[in-house]
């Protein structure tokens, strides 16, 4: 298991000085610690095939994005088993996102809804990013439009973003 906290802390739930500092500096959250602990537990019980890893998480309302540079199928599990276990235990809808370029992140966020495009609208007071999704795919989103929009803003690191249904 690879996480923003060390394995010893993930296993015990008791933080070493280094991990404690990360928590105090808001580099990690309580959910990161909980998630890392659950992944360790799942590895011990051999409920995960391969090595699970994540870089960071983003929580928006009941949605938890888990960003990983590692193997996505490992974190999702066969038939979604891993992601379901995590969702139940964290009491959040867990969404695994590849920690890479913004477009790929958006596709992971909205799947199985389709991405028609990402447009940049140039405005004098700052450019606006438009994420365009087919209207008929709205019901396929894992959360309501407002939550998905907030999550996309946090992925982009910018509030000038809107989701447009077309």
Work out the burial of residue 124: count CB atoms within 10 Å of its CB; fewer than 13 is exposed, 13-18 middle, 19 or more buried: exposed
Q: What is the 3-state secondary structure (H, E, C) of 93-150?
A: EEEEEECCCHHHHHHHHHCCCCCCEEEEECCCCCCEEEEEECHHHHHHCCCCHHHHHH
Cβ of residue 10: shortest distance to Zn ion, in angstroms? Answer: 8
**DSSP H or E stretch at residue 36:** helix 30-44
Q: Is 6 in the site for Zn ion (CB under 5 A)?
A: yes
The span from the CA of 44 to the CA of 24, in Å, is: 29
Q: Name which of 32 and 108 has its Cβ closer to Zn ion.
A: 32
Cβ of residue 18: shortest distance to Zn ion, in angstroms? Answer: 5
Q: Is 133 in the site for Zn ion (CB under 5 A)?
A: no
Instruction: Give phi and psi for 87, each to the nearest 5.
Output: -60, -45
Q: Name which of 19 and 143 has its Cβ closer to Zn ion.
A: 19
Instruction: Tell me how many residues contact Zn ion (CB under 5 A).
Output: 4
Cβ of residue 4: shortest distance to Zn ion, in angstroms? Answer: 10
Task: Mark residues 8-47: x for contact with Zn ion by CB under 5 A, - for none.
Answer: -x------x--x----------------------------
Cβ of residue 85: shortest distance to Zn ion, in angstroms? Answer: 23
Q: Is 145 in the site for Zn ion (CB under 5 A)?
A: no
What is the contact surface with Zn ion in residues (CB under 5 A)? 6, 9, 16, 19
């Amino acid at each position: 298991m690879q996480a923003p906290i060390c394995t010893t802390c993930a296993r015990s739930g008791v933080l070493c000085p280094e991990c404690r500092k990360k928590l105090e500096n808001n580099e990690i959250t309580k959910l990161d610690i909980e998630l890392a602990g659950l992944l360790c537990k799942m590895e011990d019980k051999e409920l995960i095939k391969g090595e699970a890893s994540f870089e960071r998480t983003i929580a928006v309302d009941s949605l938890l994005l888990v960003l990983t540079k590692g193997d996505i199928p490992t974190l999702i599990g066969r038939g979604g088993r891993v992601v379901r276990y995590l969702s139940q235990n964290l009491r959040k809808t867990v969404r695994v996102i590849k920690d890479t370029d913004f477009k790929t992140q958006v596709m992971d966020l909205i799947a199985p809804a389709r991405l028609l495009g990402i447009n940049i609208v140039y405005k004098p007071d700052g450019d606006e990013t438009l994420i365009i999704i087919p209207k008929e795919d709205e019901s396929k989103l894992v959360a309501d439009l407002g939550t998905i929009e907030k999550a996309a803003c946090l992925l982009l690191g910018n509030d000038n973003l809107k989701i447009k249904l077309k």
